[in-house]
Amino acid sequence: MISITLLGTAALVPIPERALTAAFLTCGGHSILFDCGEGTQSAAVKAGVSLMKTDLIALTHYHGDHILGLPGLLKTMWRMGRTEPLYITGSEGLWQKAMEPILRLTGRTAYPIELFELPAEGLQLCRLIRGWASAARLTAFKTVHKVPSQGYCFTLELAGKFLPQKAKALGVPVNQWSRLQNGQSVPLGDNIILPE
């Protein structure tokens, strides 16, 4: 199941009931934080979501109302004992325009922070972070703003209907059927059986 929690919907200036821009997506025990404006941590506590298990932070652009919650969040993750890598992606200029000063403000962390750009065709999240469903994909698209910016599309392709009679007719052993159901190919002699 996919769940999206809007943590902040205000722009420029936070107000008591509205933190600055942030949205939190969870799917199958994994999560993505989209932007991290001021007040994101407080809003997460109020909404009952844990940002500590965030796998990936996807930044749309580098205005303060979208990124100035990052130093505090990154430091909180360290203080709470995070050890697994945290992945961060964003629009053009991720290192120079955003993360270099953010990481200087954050200071030392005990976990690796991995910066990367999404490939043009998008990314199957399981290729980056172990445990994501193979059908989970994140792609970026350009948006219109005063600075380079992008939006994101998260997709979770539904598996096609599995046809056991076809797998049996092709000679696929029963213990390999789950691989086909999960979208993986199965080698069979000199042939490769595709999930399709």
Residues with active-site annotation = 65
The total number of residues written for the chain in this structure? 196
What does the CA dihedral 116, 45, 66, 107 come to, rounded to 10 degrees?
Answer: -60
Residue 115: CB partners within 8 Å, gap ≥ 6?
A: 87, 88, 89, 94, 95, 99
Residue 76: CB partners within 8 Å, gap ≥ 6?
A: 41, 51, 52
First to last CA, the chain: 24
Question: In 7-153, which residue ranges form alpha helices assigned H by DSSP?
Answer: 40-47, 64-67, 70-79, 100-106
